[in-house]
């Protein structure tokens, strides 16, 4: 059953959750490698990877706790679904903060500022850091 107002979901297995969790960690790990680069293109890529990590983390948490994750192109639905997980309101807010810049990070024609990249990584980091505690 899809929680009200959270959009379409798909069921996930424990194996699916573990893949999404591992992906979340790796996206953020690779993003951190270039986040402080002088080249704005590299920082831009770091933001994009961090956004992918945040989305994967939300999928893993929702999968572990609800047995489903958001499905579709509207990642805002992933934040809505995450907000239905007990004690995850702050994480849902972190995902929304990341998503504000996701389109620009993925498809934009201007580079994100160093400050925006740092903010995206901070919010994504909180989501990724929370994943393992939700897998238990």
| 69-121 confidence digits (pLDDT tens) | 999 788 899 999 999 999 999 999 999 999 998 888 888 899 999 999 999 99
Q: What share of the chain is helix, strand, coil (3-state, %, to 5)?
A: 70, 5, 25
What's the total number of domains in the chain? 1
Banded model confidence at residue 51, pLDDT cuts 50, 70, 90: very high
Write the CATH number for 43: 1.20.120.330
Banded model confidence at residue 1, pLDDT cuts 50, 70, 90: very low
Tokens 């993003």 correspond to 31
Cβ neighbours of residue 81 under 8 Å, at least 6 residues apart? 3, 6, 7, 9, 58, 62, 66, 68, 69, 70
Q: Is residue 22 part of a domain?
A: yes
Give the residue numbers spanning the domain of 21: 10-135
Given a contact cutoff of 8 angstroms between Cβ atoms, the answer to whether 17 and 135 are in contact is: yes
Chain-centre distance for alpha carbon 96: 9
Q: Is residue 91 part of a domain?
A: yes
d(CA 39, CA 114) in angstroms, rounded, equals 10
């Amino acid at each position: 059953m899809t929680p009200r107002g959270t959009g379409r979901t798909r069921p996930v297995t424990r194996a699916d959750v573990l893949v999404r969790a591992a992906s979340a960690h790796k996206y953020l790990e690779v993003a951190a490698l270039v986040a402080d680069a002088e080249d704005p293109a590299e920082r831009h890529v770091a933001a994009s990877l961090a956004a992918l990590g945040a989305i994967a983390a939300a999928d893993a948490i929702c999968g572990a706790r609800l047995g489903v994750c958001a499905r579709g192109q509207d990642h805002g639905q992933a934040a809505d679904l995450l907000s239905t997980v007990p004690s995850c309101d702050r994480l849902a807010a972190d995902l929304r903060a990341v998503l504000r810049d996701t389109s620009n990070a993925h498809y934009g024609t201007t580079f994100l500022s160093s400050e925006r990249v740092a903010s995206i990584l901070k919010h994504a980091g909180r989501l990724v850091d929370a994943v393992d505690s939700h897998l238990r």
